[in-house]
Structure 1
């Protein structure tokens, strides 16, 4: 990696580096999405995400050693694509066209992507990290051996299983082999705003399917239903309204793995989930205690104890189910647990703080949760580790508030990537 991206500092852990193979196998330890994504336009979230922000990856603290566990990462695959393109001294699109796509396989027409519930057309996403789901191609026949191509050996290498990812499934170079009693399916999918796709074929080479849609929702369950007997058709999720006050029952932290926590919080009447070191995404109720995400094929079922309180959740993603017991508070990147502060104390921090160069922090309190929003970025929750000391979970960063002799908050200090940036409070 260092050879292909000499201007990047790729995170390591315990002396173990992230390799190209680990990126392709989704064992890098990198999060699903970059913590500094923070799009200016939610309808086109990658439009303003360039290589300069990708380089901020250097400050990410891996939660586990590279190669230790499977975790799907769009960020990791985007980094892989960038590394290959930089090595070839071409753009990602030019590299694909030169080495993979035949001229006759170019896509000549891009369908308009649809937003749900008749809300119009989705924007075509611009991607700075091109390695994930950026190109649709009718490669099914080539992978099944029905179309002769000089890439046949490379394709077989790519889908050959290399690592176990749980429940009998295995992964090769991005391709996943889904194991069932009725046979194995080799598959991959992709999704951007308003578009989703699936390509899969039976391991015996007798059946294959490509699904390209101009609608949100990765269609792998539909692909499995087409390829496997007795595979159920996918459930269509429809969002239902939940009173904002009832959403508070789900707010809390849920431990998916040691050092890897899913924080659930509410902002206004919207529930959000945010995994350690990753960006937050909204959750929508489909039934009592059942929620789904629109940014990725993720569903979450909350579980209640005998006293009726939510005590755990199960995260369903990519055909895998992760059970996570509820814990009190949030967890920082270094493992520090949050503490509860008096809600009246939180109001001391509300205000605007000038960072310089036209940037400022807006600090607010909503429903007992402190939020910090830097100019041009989204508002993210920050959690107390002590009075006047807070941390983010979306990035490895901390905020410390300063008081004057009278006890009034007069400034904050942002600690991130080894830098300490002071921002005085506006009058």
Structure 2
């Protein structure tokens, strides 16, 4: 299943730039360079600002094929960072007296739309802005015709139809559970209240006052000419056109523009007073749950009572923004592929944060060996190199997986099949290699081996909906094994686990379910495959809880994207 350094110094608000004591250190630049050179990311652009320094750095290409160098004017999708813009618009309306955070959201919707309630309580604008509305992450009638541009055909009529049929599964305001639907609805409500489109509101109240001329939902011709094309892995993918739910993640921008936004949020007293007051309101804690160990401002995630954070991801882009108002510093990081760049932003904000070394991929070397000596010699070489030089190259499962799909796309299906076989042999406990091997067998018409491998993939990752759907189409029996874990055992896993100085996983339990929430990210239910092993359905990831000699849970291990990341229990 598919899965030369440029430093630019600029002035915003007439701040003097100091070249010494660079906050985007040489180590960070080398880390970014290694990400691009080793094909972890395609292009990365970074901006940093503090009280008297502004720095920009970019490296990589706007596209792997015939791309130009990314720079501070390259256009990216910022995904869910758009939610902080939506919160700022709401705060403007609240401060002007046009709206109240306690207003029922239904007040602004057509009378034909019946927003769900629960136990007599209504969803308010504040609930939408803090992910406490009890609305699901996405509407259940979301069925995109083009999965590569999934929001493009979702209409307002479909949104209303869903809201009229939606039934809430827990109490409003009870907990913070990330909802693109909720924030998209808030953006739509702002449209209805103002009589203007979400994009028009962004331009009028934020982009124009801050001179952010490349911040839009719809590409201008100038933005198109500087577009950093999105990539899923190393393959170009479509842009996401998010219109009806634009408030959840529809904005495109540049590092130059986003640095203006960062500085406005930090030094909001230097901007228009209305915008200053709105940003100040959006930064205030609006929801805090000690049991859930979560704290939310309006759209902004609050970490350690110190950082305001948000990241973003669409099909071909990742983004991260962080503010430390006490120290008057902030960062924006944008990338044009779907590999998270959060560690780069965290490292800039917290220099003690340890960046993981980036190793060169083994895939290009294997490809050259195939070309020069054939697939059999390449497999021998791979195994020998992995045994003798395990720390010299990146041998993670996705390296061979991506290589296999490249040969599939080139019509070299025999070579692809052998690579997928090798990946399964080298990573027998990973789900995705079996899925890919199953696809390769199915492409060759071997249904028996396709079914066998899809079943193995599904057994390792019960959340692999792709495998489940393929097996159904092949009329293959799929056994649903239900693992039940006692509430007493679930309670032993509750706590906070540190995977890095500013990155934690918080485990809670409710109604017999175990819930996981990572720093600055939504909360998700995790499902048991064994007493101490759980998996996520929203992404291919799993966690395993580890006990000490006394039987006490002291850590967890996160398995995701070929990475094995331990987390010590700290609370």
Corresponding residue for 1:198?
320
1:42-68 CA distance string (max 9 Å, x none): 111111100000012221111111101
Q: How does 1:49-64 map to 2 (within 5 A)?
A: 49-55=154-160, 56-64=162-170
Change (3 A) 1:264 1:63: farther
Maintained 8 Å contact 1:198/1:212: yes
Task: Report if the CA contact (8 A) 1:132-1:190 is conserved.
Answer: no
1:4 is aligned to: 108
Cα deviation digits, residues 380-402 of structure 1 (max 9, x gap): xxxxxxxxxxxxxxxxxxxxxxx
Counterpart of 2:280 in structure 1 is 156
Corresponding residue to 1:210 among 329, 332, 343: 332
Does residue 109 (structure 1) correspond to residue 301 (structure 2)? The answer is no
Q: Deviations over 1:142-167 (max 9, x none)?
A: 11016423211110110111212567
Query: Match of 1:73?
Result: 179
Which has more helix, going by share of residues?
2
Q: What is the CA-CA distance between 1:226 and the residue it aligns to?
A: 1.7
- CA pair 73-58 structure 1, distance change in 2 beyond 3 A: same
* Cα distance between partner residues in 2 of 1:15 and 1:219: 43
Contact 2:397–2:433, Cα closer than 8 Å, also in 1: no
Q: Distance in 1 between matches of 2:340 and 2:461?
A: 27
**How far did 1:32 drift?**
1.0
1:19 paired with 2:124, answer yes
Cα distance in structure 2, aligned partners of 1:50 and 1:322 = 26
RMSD: 3.4
In 1, Cα distance between equivalents of 2:325 and 2:294: 13
Q: CA 1:232 to 1:315, structure 2 compared with 1: closer, same or farther past 3 Å? A: farther
| Mapped partners of 2:397, 2:351: distance in 1 | 26
Compared CA separation, residues 323 and 98, structure 1 to 2 (3 A): closer
The answer for unaligned runs of 5 or more in structure 1 is 254-261, 271-298, 302-311, 329-427
Q: 1:323 to 1:85 in 2, by over 3 A?
A: closer
Farther off after superposition, 212-221 or 91-100: 212-221
Work out the CA distance in 1 between the residues paired with 2:289 and 2:357: 24
Contact kept, 8 Å, 1:163 with 1:172, in 2: the verdict is: yes
Structure 2: stretches of 5+ with no match in the other structure:
1-104, 215-221, 359-395, 399-431, 435-452, 473-504, 508-512, 531-571
Tell whether the 8 Å contact from 1:125 to 1:193 is kept in structure 2 after alignment.
no
**Aligned-partner Cα distance in 2 for 1:80–1:218:** 27
**Larger Rg computed on CA atoms:** 2
Q: Within 2, Cα distance between the matches of 1:319 and 1:250?
A: 28
Count of aligned pairs between the two proteins? 278
Q: Check conservation: 2:233, 2:339, Cα contact below 8 A.
A: no
Contact 1:193 1:216 in 2 (8 A): yes
Q: Contact 1:159–1:176 (CA<8 Å) still a contact in 2?
A: no
Instruction: Give the direction of change, closer, same or farther, for the CA distance of 1:171–1:264 in structure 2 (3 Å limit).
Output: farther
* Partners of 1:124 and 1:248 in 2: CA distance: 29
Match of 1:141 among 258, 263, 271: 263
88-97 or 234-243: bigger deviation: 234-243
**Which structure: greater strand fraction?**
1
Deviations 1:343-371 (A, max 9, x none): xxxxxxxxxxxxxxxxxxxxxxxxxxxxx
Q: CA deviation at 1:327?
A: 8.4
TM value normalised by structure 2: 0.44
Residues 223/238 of structure 1: CA separation in 2 closer, same or farther (3 Å cut): farther
Q: TM-score, normalised to structure 1's length?
A: 0.58
Partner of residue 340, structure 1: none
